Amino acid sequence: MSPKYENYSSKFLLKSFDYHKQFSHIYAHRLAEMSSLMAKRAINRWGKIPIKKLCDLREDFEDECIIIGTIYKHQSHKPSILKEISEENQLAPQPPRQHYADPEDKIILEDKLQRIRLFGKVRAKEMATGVVCAVMGVIEEGGRFDVQDILYYESGPQKTLSLINESKLLVLISGLEQLQSHLYADSLNLFQHWLRGTFTTVKSRKEKVRVIVAGNSVRGSVEDKKVTAFQTRTFDSNELVNAMKSLDEWFASWSSFMPLDLMPGACDPANFMLPQQPFHNCMFPLAGRYENFQCVPNPYDCSIDEIRVLGTSGQNLQDLLRNTDLEKPMDALRKTLIWGHLAPTAPDTLACYPYIDSDPFIIKECPHIYFAGNCDQFDTALQKGSEGQKTCLVCVPSFAKTQSIAVIDLLTLQCREIIFKFDVNCETQNLQSRV
């Protein structure tokens, strides 16, 4: 019996393209929508402590109060167009950086009208611009707010699982990077045989119900080879066409016996801004013939037998790691779930569409599975929320770097890594499974 599947990604599909809007609208809507959600949680957490607007605060107000607002992290190392054009003032240009966090970064909370500097129990190293939170504390001299406690949305309520009564496997793979696939073609063949059930007995075989390809299927880097301009255009275009043909053949083979969802990634031939729109089916003429094959946006939101699955191709984690002192992708993945927002740094340092009347990246319903693709290595954890939510967090490894995938048992929500290695010297196949 086929599992019940529903696609909830329509909120990420753009019906029109208007890039003349200001990005302030998405911040305003994010704050307005999440403030109403946070107010209920703040009352449950702190009781009768009043919720104040920044304009109502006075230094002579000594009682504890609650403020709900959006975090702005003042970072001197963050890219700035004003610093880029500073040569006009005969100043030294800002050197390029891969990491913007600094111990001197300041945390500021702002609402519709005003802002205030936060002190106290605020871990600036782990905070990022765009996070909506509620803080409880007291106003101090000099316009400082001493934070005694802080509260996040934690991604809202979560549905109770009811339809799953047997083991079914969800397969997550990312970073196929077909431009480099000649280096691990045998590993891809091993993966395809495993997907068909070649290496498992009928008794031990568990049904694989769906494959999600989480971005960077064509390439994993935007860097081009150092050749002449004419050679670059000719060589890259031929290479790209061949890579797309190869992908089409792989996806057609997999879709012939299993549902497959294809997400675009940062380095794929798709739009750059989040949310990335689905590939057009004409790019995959062979795979597009199968009903099992579908192109989906990035981020991607769906349910399988009422198990809510939410994920990205990894851009949100990479940008968050640049702006904080978080060390691992898993730490960043956990933070975005706790904050209740897929991409808090968008549109500040992560490009996104200038929405004017919504913010589709708010996580209104806590997923059971939350993943991010194109990580340097596999990682998984179980995140428990304050209201009983349980979410399986998965950092999906890049197949090009690790020759491995992530597999989740939908009955137990346990995730493991399966590595596909081919030892050319020994002419043997090596298939490893690791939880």
**What are the DSSP calls for 95-131, one per residue?**
PP-S----TT-EEEEE-SS-EEEEEES--GGG--TT-
Once rounded to an integer, what is the mean pLDDT over residues 396-413?
96
Alpha carbon distance 261, 361 (integer Å):
20
SS3 state at 378: coil
Backbone dihedral region for residue 423 (phi beyond 0: left; psi -120 to 50: alpha; all else: beta): beta
Query: What's phi and psi for 260, nearest 5 deg?
Result: -135, 130
Phi, psi of 95 (to 5 degrees): -70, 145
- The ranges assigned to domains in the chain are 5-18+157-221+234-419, 23-84+95-151
Rounded Cα distance, 53 and 199, in Å: 62
**Can you tell me which residue has the tokens 């409880």?**
136
Residue 143 has pLDDT above 60, yes or no: yes
Position 229 scores a pLDDT of 38
Query: What confidence score (pLDDT) does residue 61 get?
Result: 75
* Residue 427 one-letter amino acid: E
For the cut 70, the answer to whether the pLDDT of residue 234 exceeds it is no
- Long-range contacts, stretch 86-90, CB < 8 angstroms, 24+ apart: none
Instruction: Band the pLDDT of 95: cuts 50, 70, 90.
Output: low
Q: 């968008």: which residue's tokens? A: 346
Cα 413 to Cα 307: distance, rounded to the nearest angstrom: 10
pLDDT at 228: 38
The neighbouring-strand residues paired with 419 are 404, 432
Does domain 5-18+157-221+234-419 fall into CATH 3.60.21.50? yes
What is the DSSP-derived secondary structure letter of residue 170? E
Residues in the chain: 435
DSSP bridge partners of 147: 120, 137
pLDDT digits (tens, 9 = 90+) for 350-374: 999 999 989 999 999 999 999 999 9
**DSSP codes, 334-392:** HHHHHHTBS-TTTTTTS-B---SS--TTB--S--SEEEEEEESS-EEEEEE-TTS-EEE
Give the class (CATH, top level) of 23-84+95-151.
Answer: mainly beta
Helices (H), 174-263: 185-196, 229-255
Q: Model confidence at 304, in pLDDT bands (50, 70, 90)? A: very high
Three-class SS state of 310: strand
With beta carbons less than 8 A apart as the criterion, state whether 65 and 52 touch: yes
Could you tell me the CA-to-CA distances from 45 to 41, 48, 50, 88, 339 in Å, in that order? 6, 9, 12, 52, 16
Q: Using CB atoms within 10 Å of the CB of residue 241, give its burial: 0 to 12 exposed, 13 to 18 middle, 19+ buried.
A: exposed
Q: 3-class SS at 216?
A: coil
Burial 265-276 (b: 16+ CB within 10 A, else e): bbbbebbebbbb
Average pLDDT over residues 136-147: 88
**Six-digit token pair at 100?**
């913007």
**Residue of higher predicted confidence among 364 and 219:** 364
